[in-house]
Each structure stands twice: as C-alpha cells, then as structure tokens.
C-alpha cells in the first residue's frame, strides 16, 4: 500500500524547493521518501528514506515540548498562545488581545519557545534541544553547519521578530541568543526514517517505541499534539484537518510528520513546496494514506460498546471447588444472587459508563459480585474513580464486591479483609473470586439446620455408606487411614496408580498445566469425595497432579488389594466399580460444566 501511495504521488513534480538560502536549493528536487512507523516501533518505508535534510519548522513542536517540560504549561502560556493565526508563518505580529505570539508553530512563537529553554549557558541550552530531538528520533542527531551558517547570515526577518518580541517583553533574555538557537534547531539534520520515529514517539505517549526511552510526559505529549492539530500546517490547517485529520507539522526542508495518537507516525520527505510552504508530495501522500488507511481522528470506533465481555451467575459457571450435595443445592437455588462480570478493552469514560450502568442495573439485588479486569487494557483515572464509586455504593447496600485484578490496574496493591471497605477484595484469578462469592451466598442462604461438618468417618463415606453392613465392614478393613500435610503432593502428573483415595477431612486440589505455561486448578475436592479411582480403573498414570490444599485425612485402598478383590468378591468389586464410575462421572461432569459453562467461547 505504501508502494502504491508512493507511485501515485511520485509523478507530481510541481512546486520547487525552498531557495531563500543556497544550501536549501541545492537538494535533489525529486527526492521522495515515505515512512510509516507503528506505535510499537516497526517502520515501513519506501524511496529516499535515508537522505539527510534539515528539519526546519518540524523542529517547532519538539522545542515547544522541551519548553513545556522546562517551564510547565502555565509558564509557557504566559509567553505563547495556542490559537491558529490564519496568517503566514513568518508574520511579524502578535495576537491583538493578548500581545503574545498566536501559537508555537509560527516563527514568533517558535523563537519564543527557544528563548524558554533551560540551561546554564547558550551552548548547554542548544545541547539540551539537540538531545531532546535525539531522544525522539532514537539516535544522536547532528546539526548541518553549512545550513546553519547560511541561515544565521541571512535570517534578517527572524531577527526582526526576535527584537519585536524582546521589545514587548515576550522574550526576557537576549533575543540574538534565542534567534540563534532557533536557527540551530532548524539546521538539525534528519532522515525521513528519523522523522517517522519522532512521530511514532509522539504517537506512543512520548516514549520512543524502539529505545523505550521517555522523550516527553504523556500529558505534555497530548498538549503538543493538540497544538499541531490546529496550527501545524500553517494556514492550510482547516483543509488538512478535514482531508487528513491528523496532528501534523511540515518544514520548508521538504519534510512532513503526521501522528495518529496511540497508533502510528507518518513521515514524508519531498523538497518541492506548494505556495503555503508545505511539501507538495508530502501533502498528497498524507492525504492518500489517511484516506486509504482510514486514519482521520473523527473516524469512529465503537470500542465503548463492548466493555462487558461476558456476564453470568455462579449458578451458571460455578467455581472449581466441588461442593457437598447440600451446598450444591443451595447454590443451584440462590446462585443467581452472585454474578461475574468480565470486562475487556480499554476502560475510558464511555466504556466504563456502559459497564457501571449494567452492573448497577442488577447489582443491588445481589449478595456478591466479581468484576474481572484481566482482559482490560488501559484504565483511565475516571474509569477507576467510577468503579470505586460503584463498589462503595454496592457495599453500602449490602452487596460484597471482589475484583480479579492481578496487575493492580485499579491500584489496589493489597486486598482488604474488611467487608465494609469499599475497595473490596482483590483476587488474582477468577476461580478463587467465584469461590469467595459462593461462600457468601452459602453463608446467607444455607438453611439453619444444615450440617456444615467438614469431617466424616470412613463408614460414613458415600462410597461405602450405601452398601450392606457386611459388605461395608469387609471393604473398610481393606482401607488404611493416612494424614497428609498441607501442600503435600499426593500424586504427580504421570505417576502410576497408587491407590483408591477416600477423603475424610480437608481439601485436595487437582491441577493441570495450561497452554499458557501456568498451572491451573482443575477442581478442588473435600470430605466425602474420592480420587485416584480413574488410574485404578483403567490402569493408566495420573493425568493431573493431586495436592493437599489443607491438612488432609484420607483412607486408601492399595492397588494390590483392589485387584485381588475381583478374585475374592467379584460382586463386591462390581458394586464398588459402579459407585466409583458414578463418582468419577459426576466429578468429570462437574468439571466439564465448570469449564464449558462460558459457552459463548464456542
């Protein structure tokens, strides 16, 4: 596409290079380079992108940026306005009302900006300018001495502007020094490739995407881009905004930069200029790129529409903690009182408003809710405030709130244990947050007479409880009881079958390695449940690791005893097998239901 745009613009040889000094007129007039740099630093380029030329007026936004960093927004605003002037760039005039240069993109404003640069002496001041530009470009830039000499010899009009500015105290230092610095900055040599990186740095919030060095703060970058939008293309600004719609700056050296904030930078070099002083091919290439790539800033995206990615109750998508039949029944009945909201995209105001509105809509009827922020990109300050306001409101009305926010996007470095703390609980994964919600629902809705015993005896275990007394006693004798410490690995992935385990007290976790390289919980089991039966039944190794989540008491039947049972009591083994198959099936089914519940994925 860049090649096509290049070819479409190349044939236009109208206009002529600047010739007010011989050094500028000496360029190859039909040079033409075109670069597009993405905000992550990849440069697409075609043509003469490595020819050096002087930056000229494209220096203005960068010196303005350094002046803003040195003096602050207000300090600079006392000297330079930000209004488009509608006048030629080298007009010797000030804004009628304010008596200040209209903006920093015309010569009077740019010379004023040069006068505001900090430094012990004139050489340090210019060195700071040069280093600033170099940070934007990502390499050391140098001045073209012959262009500077020529500018310095002949720049009478700019000297006149300097003295005029000094006469009205807009410049409060030696005007010759400010003008000289302006000549020097205009004479810095760049390539089209450099300019594209400088533009990409503006696009990337002031950070050079290759070196990752910060050249300018985010808020000042926003200001520089604003001024480029209205004032960057001299008196063709309106036409530029309507047909290109990108903050931009051109220079009489033949360069143009244009920036799509957050996304990319464009640079063009072609020295033939139109009557406004903008590169002829530069303007048409930018216009064509904007049209083809739909870069205009008023081109609408709809990211605000989809801030909520998914929404479901804990009854629809339970945690991976396998509950007792009693608790499962309570959650089936009341699980709609706890809800999970997965957000995604960038949370700027409009997206956050949509999300908060939806959550508020049924939030007050809930016992608890989870807001999952893991897929969220940028969170703006206002979105953070809105979510915190929502949490505080919900907590006041009795709804507990958990965040899934492993990267502390909302700035909660620690989780709060206080249930009335509006900051709520913060978890690093959704499953644990869901389990926390289920616990709240169970606390509030479990019938008063329900047993919450977490410990059973072997003959109470459901696998044996329904057998006849004689058979049960026979089997009980085959089990040995063992106690395991918290964190103990009972079986690792790939271990051979080691027994049939019945849980009598505590919790165990089954884990599996995800495609993301992390270990995930498949399910957590507690008293009355069993594990190890599938390796035992089919003779294959453990597929998942089994780890004691707490101190655990289990009863184990050895593989040898299990095998010999078929010989001695085939019918008893058949009964056991049927119960094991049912238990294994119920567990697998619960797992499938948990994992596939979010069926929107399929």
Catalytic positions are 57, 60, 182, 234, 252
Interface with a second copy in residues 83-122 (CB under 8 A): 83-87, 102-103
The answer to whether 498 contacts a second copy (rule: CB under 8 A) is no
Q: Give the other-Cβ count within 10 Å of 441's Cβ.
A: 25
Min separation Cβ 124 and a second copy, Å: 29
What distance in Å separates the CA atoms of residue 410 and residue 425, rounded to the nearest whole number? 12
The answer to whether 452 contacts a second copy (rule: CB under 8 A) is no
To the question of whether residue 107 is assigned a binding role by annotation, the answer is yes
3-class secondary structure, 555: strand
Q: x/- contact string, 15-34, with a second copy (CB under 8 A)?
A: --------------------
Name which position in 156, 381, 449, 469 contacts a second copy (CB under 8 A).
381
The answer to whether 432 contacts a second copy (rule: CB under 8 A) is no
Min separation Cβ 553 and a second copy, Å: 27
Both tokens of 436, joined, read: 């926390």
The answer to whether 349 contacts a second copy (rule: CB under 8 A) is yes
Both tokens of 70, joined, read: 């040195």
Min separation Cβ 175 and a second copy, Å: 25
Interface with a second copy in residues 531-560 (CB under 8 A): 534, 537-538, 543
3-class secondary structure, 325: helix
What distance in Å separates the CA atoms of residue 265 and residue 257, rounded to the nearest whole number? 7
Q: Between 7 and 586, whose beta carbon lies closer to a second copy?
A: 586
Min separation Cβ 324 and a second copy, Å: 19
Selected range binding a second copy among 10-18, 63-71, 164-172, 372-380, rule: CB under 8 A? 372-380
Name which position in 149, 213, 429, 505 contacts a second copy (CB under 8 A).
429
User: What are the phi and psi torsion angles at 525 (to 5°)?
Assistant: -115, 150
The answer to whether 344 contacts a second copy (rule: CB under 8 A) is yes
To the question of whether residue 20 is assigned a binding role by annotation, the answer is no
Q: Between 12 and 83, whose beta carbon lies closer to a second copy?
A: 83
To the question of whether residue 151 is assigned a binding role by annotation, the answer is yes
The answer to whether 454 contacts a second copy (rule: CB under 8 A) is no
Selected range binding a second copy among 7-15, 473-481, 551-559, 576-584, rule: CB under 8 A? 576-584
Name which position in 260, 366, 390, 440 contacts a second copy (CB under 8 A).
260
To the question of whether residue 44 is assigned a binding role by annotation, the answer is no
The answer to whether 578 contacts a second copy (rule: CB under 8 A) is yes
Interface with a second copy in residues 229-258 (CB under 8 A): 229-231, 235-239, 241-242, 245, 247
Position of tokens 């390499």?
A: 139
Q: Between 430 and 444, whose beta carbon lies closer to a second copy?
A: 430
DSSP 326-381: HHHHHHHHHGGGEEEEEEEEEE-HHHHHHHHHHHHHHHTT-SEEEEEEEEEEEE-H
Residue 210 half-sphere exposure toward CB, CA atoms < 13 A = 18
Q: Which residues pair with 426 in a beta bridge?
A: 403
Both tokens of 441, joined, read: 């629902």
Beta strands, E only, 432-533? 479-484, 489-491, 500-505, 508-513, 519-525, 530-531
The answer to whether 382 contacts a second copy (rule: CB under 8 A) is yes
Selected range binding a second copy among 115-123, 228-236, 249-257, 473-481, rule: CB under 8 A? 228-236
Q: Is the dihedral of CA 528, 532, 533, 534 positive or negative?
A: positive
Cβ atoms of 205 and 378 closer than 8 Å = no
What distance in Å separates the CA atoms of residue 392 and residue 399, rounded to the nearest whole number? 10
Q: Between 20 and 349, whose beta carbon lies closer to a second copy?
A: 349
Strands 308-313 and 264-269: unpaired
DSSP 490-501: EE-TTPPP--EE
Name which position in 292, 396, 420, 453 contacts a second copy (CB under 8 A).
292
Q: Which residues pair with 531 in a beta bridge?
A: 501
CA angle 277, 286, 37 (to 5 degrees): 115
Rounded to a whole number, what is the distance in angstroms from the first to the last CA of the chain? 35
The answer to whether 522 contacts a second copy (rule: CB under 8 A) is yes
To the question of whether residue 252 is assigned a binding role by annotation, the answer is yes
Q: Between 27 and 257, whose beta carbon lies closer to a second copy?
A: 257
**Binding-site residues for substrate:** 57, 107, 151, 158, 182, 234, 252
């Amino acid at each position: 596409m860049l090649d096509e745009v290049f070819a479409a613009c190349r044939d236009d040889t109208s206009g002529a290079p600047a010739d007010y000094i011989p050094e500028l007129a000496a360029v190859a007039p039909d040079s033409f380079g075109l670069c597009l740099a993405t905000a992550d630093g990849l440069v697409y380029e075609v043509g003469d992108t490595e020819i050096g030329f002087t930056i000229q007026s494209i220096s203005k936004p960068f010196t303005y940026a350094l002046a803003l960093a040195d003096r602050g927004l207000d300090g600079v605003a006392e000297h330079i306005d930000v209004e488009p002037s509608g006048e030629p760039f080298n007009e010797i005039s000030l804004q009628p009302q304010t008596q200040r240069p209209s903006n920093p993109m015309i010569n009077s404003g740019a010379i004023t900006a040069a006068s505001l640069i900090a430094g012990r002496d004139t050489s340090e001041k210019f060195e700071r300018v040069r280093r600033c530009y170099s940070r934007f470009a990502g390499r050391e830039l140098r001045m073209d001495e012959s262009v500077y000499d020529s500018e310095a010899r002949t720049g009478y009009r700019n000297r006149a502007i300097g003295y005029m500015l000094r006469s009205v105290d807009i410049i409060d230092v030696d005007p010759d020094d400010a003008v000289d610095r302006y000549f020097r900055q205009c004479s810095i040599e760049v390539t089209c490739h450099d300019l594209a990186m400088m533009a990409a740095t503006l696009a990337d919030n002031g950070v050079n995407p290759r070196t990752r060095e910060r050249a300018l703060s985010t808020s000042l970058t926003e200001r520089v881009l604003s001024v480029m939008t209205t004032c960057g293309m001299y008196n063709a600004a309106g036409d530029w905004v309507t047909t290109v719609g990108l903050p931009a700056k051109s220079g009489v050296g033949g360069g143009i930069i244009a920036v799509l904030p957050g996304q990319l930078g464009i640079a063009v070099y072609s020295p033939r200029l139109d009557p406004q002083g903008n590169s002829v091919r530069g303007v048409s290439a930018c216009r064509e790129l904007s049209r083809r790539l739909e870069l205009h800033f008023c081109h609408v995206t709809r990211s605000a529409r989809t801030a909520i990615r998914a929404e479901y109750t804990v009854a629809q998508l339970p945690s991976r903690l396998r509950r007792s039949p009693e608790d499962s029944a309570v959650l089936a009945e009341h699980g709609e009182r706890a809800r999970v909201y997965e957000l995604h995209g960038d949370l700027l105001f409009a997206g956050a408003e949509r999300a908060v509105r939806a959550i508020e809509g049924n939030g007050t009827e809930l016992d608890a809710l989870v807001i999952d922020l893991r897929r969220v990109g940028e969170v703006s300050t206002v979105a953070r405030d809105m979510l915190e306001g929502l949490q505080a409101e919900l907590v006041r009305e009795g709804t507990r709130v958990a965040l899934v926010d492993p990267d502390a996007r909302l700035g909660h470095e620690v989780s709060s244990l206080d249930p009335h703390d509006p900051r709520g609980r913060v978890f690093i994964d959704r499953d644990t947050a869901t389990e926390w919600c289920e616990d709240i629902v169970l606390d509030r809705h479990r019938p008063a007479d329900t047993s919450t015993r977490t410990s059973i005896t072997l003959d109470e275990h459901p696998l044996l409880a329904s057998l006849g007394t004689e058979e049960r006693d026979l089997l009980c004798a085959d089990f040995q009881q063992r106690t395991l410490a918290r964190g103990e690995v009972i079986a690792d992935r790939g271990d051979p079958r080691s027994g049939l385990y019945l849980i009598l007290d505590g919790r165990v976790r089954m884990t599996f390695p995800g495609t993301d390289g992390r270990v995930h919980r498949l399910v957590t089991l507690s008293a009355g449940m069993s594990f190890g039966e599938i390796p035992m039944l089919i003779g294959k190794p453990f597929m998942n690791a089994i780890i004691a989540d707490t101190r655990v008491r289990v009863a184990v039947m050895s593989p040898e005893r299990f095998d010999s049972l078929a010989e001695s009591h085939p019918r008893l083994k058949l009964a056991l097998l049927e119960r094991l198959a049912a238990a294994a099936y119920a567990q697998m089914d619960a797992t499938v239901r948990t994992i596939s519940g979010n069926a929107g994925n399929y």
